[in-house]
Structure 1
């Protein structure tokens, strides 16, 4: 992979920078409105741009509106003084707030000359110079940003797009690609950042033209097409494209990835962020190889929406859009073949040649009337609106089509129609589309469209079983309907596929395709994942991997962990992790850290959430020690029984891990914390069943000398037997008179004790609380095993998905309001 340098990584004295693909970054007016906004833009450029990239700018803030106002005042003969003063003061304020004295003085003098020219145009012929007047906003914006980049970051120059961008006329805005490309190439300067005016261009006769409202977005994709740019980022006032206008539909969700065709349809049908022509240059001229990103300059950390060519998961995205102020046009002349050119020129929202009908924007009525007047036929205009479900070939998805119709069954609908490429279902309404209707349809169409990415770390015995169960779970558990397996991670290799892995062959694909990875590469991918939520299932036993949890939580990643290390970390680390998870809204579920699939953590959560207080937790927490002491009767040496358990895979490869009690100690700490107590590992007394003489030996040496264990355990057994009792390794936590007592040790228990008679390998958990005092709550069952542990992880996954399905992210709206 070719390494490229962003501007905060580049030594600008270095002249031998490697070649890289050009990227285009466009900043809208609200992103450049104030000194504070421009400072954010400078920071974005420093972090995200490379030398030779292209920066496209709109006019600062409301400058274009002020210029339009001046133009209207001049046409009506009203005084211009106050508006001119306001315009010049606003531009001067930006200049002197951002630039050093020398540059500020120079730009102020150039501004004064421009204002003098503006006054002359307004006095001479406002209509003739309308485009020149409106172009000033972009020129001032580009000139200021380029000067600021020269001061702060790197060499920069600004270009007036009218010096190279040529279109056929202002109505069609068809670009002369060959001529424009040649002119742009002749004006570019190497190893510098170009700041280019958006919105403006010139026609074939050399006159200034504009590309219409939101034309700067169109400019950016035109420049990207001319330069075969790899990526175009539209830095705007919202952090992406949503499933509906978030100003109207509060439950709208971000669409992280959109196929080009769907984005084009959204732009055509009224999406508030996408201009209908924006994507055209990218798809028409370079075959869709460039991707478009919509990001927020006000919230750089928020994931952007990416538009390009993607696989099946992105094609499942759904959204609802609407347009009011439309006209249904009926005219016999529209049935004729001669109407084809007219239809192509107007690009109507909908056309039906057989019926002789078009649906156009109300603002296009005059132009259409003039065109049809030549034909001398009667025209009927009927006010209408539309509401549409938009998605990849959505018209062919009968379930969506049915839900769309059902959502509108109580509303008057003139007709349902499909778009030409089947990417939208449109309902034409004889009345305005209201906010209530839009919310209702959105709820019906988009309610189950949240996409959850799933990464599984740890592909050992339990991890493999988890993946074996996954296909069946996805097919039969409704909460998992939109879960997509996108990554498998082992200790050294990873297979990440943004468009999803085949759950049926994931392990085979991993063995054939996985590559080495670093933690930074894994975190980098997770940072930019294109899903509504990302869930990582940690089935590793690795303490090192648990050190990544704080980074996962910083990124808003949800963690389901069988890994005990993080949940039993030192107190400060544990507090930090809990605080980070709470701050980012990350779920952290770990039922399988204790008791495999037994719902002990769930029980504690339920009691606490119901208002109960936990006073004691005790039990047999180790399946290995449960097996050993249920079987041990002193008829054979304890060391022989231990080796038998090792041979059956019941113990760890080094049985001292089980006999040390450390695993039970950690489990008790996890449960005590889950019960609401702040406890550290050192607060729990732990009896190590391995004599000191055997603790530091190699595993092989320990097993050779394991018979040194026999005398102690035989003595403990015989002493208990004399009392009609037994020995068991017990974990106990209690709160007595405000004092916490906790420990794990070998205890002598009466034969009728609840912990005395278990099925070998079973765990048992006893919980005493305000509600369960005289008759404690007991949870008992297998505390180990690949099926129950994998099942416990799936239980956590379902719980997480149920909690996330209705989670809403706050939409940050700036200038769009």
Structure 2
């Protein structure tokens, strides 16, 4: 005997019923079956709405009733059922209309009427499905559940097990294909009762237990129970097997596939439950068993409940005094307020309970009344209320035997800046339950799920501001490396937003990398950094990184807000790290407080590992004692071209044509960019250095820097030809070369043109290369040299990419 239950989504429309018919037809070829059906999807809620409207003497209940009738009539016509069935349907709705009219007049809903009205959805669906099966040449017979499932004293889900099981077994041998309506039952007087929320599951569970079935099949619109809610965690996967206890825990904490009381009859008989997908019957589904297979993950699933508030009772008068907990729970229980989570400090100074937000005002008033005397005497504080929270449960039967699960859960939450408001863990360690802000639920579920279920790849969400020359190269690099990163490093870089100085574009589509330019140009909205950051905050995705490839002061000023949203920053923009030292230090502290990264490797030397090397030396106990560096690849390129024989103006034009300079080359030639890089190097080395502490000498005369356009700048450089030719003469006569050098030693910092001889490491620096020389406690006689390409879109993009990968790999 097969017992199958089909939920509301499975029987909602003609097309879905055809799938149900095919599933049942395949089963009935080999063995008898009982089919339990819910009302058409959403019908029970609509019937409840009709009752409420009628009770309030709201005439719109008639329109709602007409819609319900038309929906069932249309279904019967689509299934091509006979006119007899349609006439029966009409009579049923006539009876319903009379009941609602009585409610309208009385402005009251008697319990019997409520049970008749709310149970009508299952009556209707089960009759229609029976007639449809019969029309499809299936030997189906309708059984009224009220004749076989009996409850005690009109108390709904309080089952009269002995009487119900006897009645069901009496028809066991006559069943070929039986159709039972779910949800409805009757008491010993024959009066209609309901089995409560999830009642159709309960009906099927009772039938399976009564007949000692080997298995109960629940057919729904998902392929079993998932490791998390797929609507919140897109990478959730079906669970192939789990224990009864795990299923109970997940169901209690919000997993919608099953309702916990429905498990009770089959749990007592140790009958397996198989959850299957009506719309994908070939999928494996989830087997819930008393003896699941041994090879399985420690954590089986995650679940959550929203709309929860936390009430905390605290006070010195609670310490060492017995009975407080009993009084607290008793006063709530007397008013039928359900407590979802309980936690108490070991000092007994405070106790917190989680209740549904609808019960919260009533609960607070009850607690205040119960402890009014203690509150008046200042022994206990008034209840403290925290709103807009959610409960998350991490469930797994084997967690109690595996050290470190709690550490991993709370560690990964902390790394993503998620704060725990309260937590509890049962003595059997079957679940770890905690509360977070409702706005953090999606992020929390995803980071935990990624930690325990997805060893293949980690999703990293990128928000990129500045998609010009360097930004475009970065996006090209991400696209070309995407497959390699997933396969070799387990990192899945997802572009969530892009922006230039004119437009910005956001998306939930994880394939933006494929056509970001088109989307930005055609669908982008006006660029606004405040709205850009608001989108990051509202999305609240785990593993988020903001990538700043602008040179914008405005963007750098919102770094603290970004870091506070638990989003890491990778900055090509030098402004923040070279701003006032107090601001630089504050940003470092904010990132540390929020457990996120603030990285800016590409600020100095483009893609060269300069800052990371300095940090490595510091972390191993070394100390930087002096810095000497050529850190402007564009300026070095100009000097090298000048050494080759080009005029200074010609060398500058070549650098501009290669894209090595800023759009306004004066920003390179005035030396401020190099000064900023020196500030960053010194600060990362552990020194407090401000811009006005640096002796700055521009590369070219002040006269040239006063030009208003690039064309005028070139003209003025030509006029100063003699000044530059004197450089050439000096280099030739003294066998030296000019380099634009930043240096820091003994607290003194300078930036300017210096000559170096053939023995100096800066004498031979090719093309647009940069070079950094570090003297340390360990590298006294021979400095550590870091040398390589220091300018260009591709190498700068590689430096940014390196920071992204470094953060993603943590």
Q: Is the aligned partner of 1:765 residue 2:772? A: yes
| 1:466 maps to 2:474 | yes
Q: Which residue of 1 aligns with 2:226?
A: 389
Task: Give the 3 Å change call, closer, same or farther, for CA 398–681 of structure 1 in structure 2.
Answer: closer
Aligned pairs for 1:215-254 (under 5 A) are: none
What is the SS of the residue equivalent to 1:605?
A: helix
Structure 1 residue 782 and structure 2 residue 789: aligned? yes
Distance 2:111 2:399 in 1: 36
SS of the residue 2:653 aligns to: helix
Distance 2:48 2:237 in 1: 41
Match of 2:483 in 1: 475
Matches within 5 A, 1:394-413: none
Query: 1:753-792: per-residue Cα shift (whole Å, max 9, x none)?
Result: 1111011100111122222222222111110112211122
Between 440-449 and 782-791, report the one with greater CA deviation: 440-449
- Aligned-pair distance for 1:178? 3.6
Q: 1:786 to 1:641 in 2, by over 3 A?
A: closer
Distance 1:382 1:485, change over 3 A: closer
Q: Provide the residue aligned with 1:710 in structure 2.
A: 721
Distance 1:181 1:757, change over 3 A: farther
1:70-101 CA-to-partner distances (Å, cap 9, x unmatched) read: xxxxxxxxxxxxxxxxxxxxxxxxxxxxxxxx
Q: What is the rounded CA distance, in whole Å, between the counterparts of 1:787 and 1:387 in structure 2?
A: 48
Q: Is 1:429 the counterpart of 2:289 in the alignment?
A: yes
User: C-alpha separation between the residues in 1 aligned to 2:111 and 2:694?
Assistant: 77
Q: Give the alignment's Cα RMSD to 1 decimal.
A: 4.8
- Residue deviations 1:620-651 (CA, integer Å, cap 9, x gap): 10112211222323855433333343344333
Contact 1:766 1:777 in 2 (8 A): yes
SS for the counterpart of 2:785 is: strand
CA distance in 1, matches of 2:274, 2:177: 26
Please give the per-residue CA displacement for 1:44-77, whole angstroms capped at 9, x wherever unaligned. xxxxxxxxxxxxxxxxxxxxxxxxxxxxxxxxxx
Contact persistence 1:685–1:742 (CA under 8 A): yes
Q: How far apart are the structure 1 equivalents of 2:495 and 2:271?
A: 40
8 A contact 2:455–2:490 mirrored in 1: no
- Which residue does 1:729 correspond to in 2? 740
CA distance in 2 between counterparts of 1:462 and 1:793 reads 9
Distance 2:286 2:779 in 1: 59
SS in 2 for 1:632: helix
SS in 2 for 1:689: coil
Distance in 2 (CA, whole Å) between partners of 1:629 and 1:732 is 18
Task: Give the deviation of 1:731 after TM superposition.
Answer: 1.1
Cα offsets for 1:413-468 (capped at 9, x unmatched): 97875444569942323259984526889765345676432111112111111112
Cα pair 1:634 1:714 within 8 Å, conserved = no
Aligned partners of 1:383 and 1:340: how far apart in 2? 15
Q: Distance in 2 between matches of 1:786 and 1:650?
A: 8
Alpha-carbon offset, residue 554 of structure 1: 2.2
Q: State the shift of 1:362 in Å.
A: 13
Q: How does 1:104-115 map to 2 (within 5 A)?
A: none
Deviation digits for residues 265-315 of structure 1 (CA, Å, limit 9, x no counterpart): xxxxxxxxxxxxxxxxxxxxxxxxxxxxxxxxxxxxxxxxxxxxxxxxxxx
Alpha-carbon separation, structure 1, partners of 2:183 and 2:565: 47
Task: Write the mapping of 1:309-348 to structure 2, written as runs, cut at 5 A.
Answer: 333=172, 336=175, 339-342=178-181
Q: Is the 8 A contact 1:626 1:761 kept in 2?
A: yes
Please say if 1:742 is aligned against 2:752. no
2:461 alignment counterpart: 453
- Alignment partner of 2:809: what SS? helix
Cα drift, residue 652 of structure 1: 3.1
Cα displacement (A) at 1:654: 3.4
**Is the partner of 2:47 in helix, strand or coil?**
coil
The Cα of 1:365 is off from its aligned counterpart by 11
Question: Residue 180 of structure 1 aligns with which residue?
Answer: 52
2:32 aligned residue = none
2:615 pairs with 582, 592, 605, which one?
605
In terms of mean alpha carbon deviation, does 542-551 or 662-671 score higher? 542-551
Task: Give the length in aligned residue pairs.
Answer: 481
- Tell me, in whole angstroms, the C-alpha distance in 2 between the residues paired with 1:518 and 1:549: 15
Conserved? CA contact 1:596–1:782, under 8 Å: yes
Distance in structure 2 (CA, Å) of the matches to 1:498 and 1:181: 39
Query: Hey, what does 2:695 align to over in structure 1?
Result: 685
Q: After TM superposition, give the deviation of residue 571 of structure 1 in Å.
A: 1.8
Give the secondary-structure state (helix, strand or coil) at the position aligned to 2:522: helix
Q: Secondary structure at the match of 1:428?
A: strand
- Residue 730 of structure 1, CA deviation: 0.9
Does the CA contact (< 8 Å) of 2:182 and 2:201 recur in 1?
Answer: no
1:58 maps to none
Shift of 1:173: 7.5
- Once residues 617 and 204 of structure 2 are traced to their aligned partners in structure 1, the CA distance between those partners, rounded to angstroms, is 69
CA distance change for structure 1 residues 773 and 690 in 2, over 3 Å: closer, same or farther? Answer: same
Equivalence for 1:351: none
- Structure 2 partner of 1:791: 798
What is the DSSP-based 3-state SS (H/G/I as helix, E as strand, rest coil) of the residue aligned with 2:570? strand
Larger Rg: 2
Which secondary structure state, in structure 2, belongs to the residue aligned with residue 712 of structure 1? helix
Q: Could you say which residue in structure 2 is the equivalent of 1:164?
A: none
Q: 1:255-274 counterparts in 2 under 5 A?
A: none
Map of 2:501 onto structure 1: 491
Contact 1:683–1:742, Cα closer than 8 Å, also in 2:
yes
* More displaced 10-residue stretch of structure 1: 452-461 or 579-588: 579-588
In structure 2, which of residues 780, 793, 807 is the aligned counterpart of residue 800 of structure 1?
807
Alignment partner, residue 678 of structure 2: 668
Structure 2 Cα separation of the partners of residues 334 and 173 of structure 1: 36
- The question of whether the paired residues in 1 share the 8 Å contact of 2:762 and 2:771 is answered with yes
Distance 2:504 2:558 in 1: 16
Offset, 1:712: 2.8
Normalising by the residue count of structure 2, what TM-score does the alignment of the two structures yield?
A: 0.52
**Superposed displacement of residue 477, structure 1:** 0.5
Cα gap change, 1:414 to 1:574, in 2 (>3 Å): same
Contact 2:557–2:576, Cα closer than 8 Å, also in 1: yes
Task: Name 1:52's counterpart in structure 2.
Answer: none
Q: Tell me, which stretches of 5 or more residues in structure 1 are unaligned?
A: 1-166, 189-202, 211-326, 347-359, 804-817
Distance in 1 between residues matched to 2:785 and 2:584, nearest whole Å: 28
Q: Does 2:514 correspond to 1:507?
A: no
SS, match of residue 633 in structure 1: helix
Q: Deviations over 1:367-411 (max 9, x none)?
A: 7798789xxx75469999x994346889xx99956x967999xxx
1:532 lines up with 2:542 in the alignment: yes
**Maintained 8 Å contact 1:538/1:559:** yes
Cα deviation, residue 532, structure 1? 1.6
* Residue deviations 1:176-217 (CA, integer Å, cap 9, x gap): 3345357679699xxxxxxxxxxxxxx96945779xxxxxxx
Please tell me whether the aligned partners of residues 475 and 481 of structure 1 are also in contact (alpha carbons under 8 angstroms).
Answer: no
TM-score normalized by the length of structure 1: 0.51
The corresponding residue for 1:561 is 571
d(CA) in 1 for partners of 2:397 and 2:791? 52
Measure the CA separation in 2 of the matches of 1:635 and 1:343: 92
What's the CA shift for 1:660?
1.1
| Structure-1 separation of matches of 2:567 and 2:180 | 52
Distance 1:392 1:683 in 2: 56
Alignment counterpart, residue 755 of structure 1, candidates 762, 774, 794: 762
Question: Deviation of residue 744 (structure 1)?
Answer: 1.2
Contact kept, 8 Å, 1:390 with 1:424, in 2: the verdict is no
Change (3 A) 1:438 1:751: same
Which has the higher mean CA deviation after the structures are superposed, 697-706 or 716-725?
716-725
Q: Any idea what SS the aligned residue of 2:714 has? A: helix
Q: Give the Cα–Cα distance (whole angstroms) in 1 for the partners of residues 182 and 173 of structure 2.
A: 9
Change (3 A) 1:365 1:598: closer
> Where do residues 605-684 of structure 1 align in structure 2 (5 Å cutoff)?
605-633=615-643, 635-684=645-694
Structure 1 residue 714 displacement after superposition:
2.6
- Give runs of aligned pairs for residues 185-224 of structure 1, distance below 5 A: 206-207=108-109
Distance 2:467 2:174 in 1: 64
Residue 550 of structure 1, CA deviation: 1.9
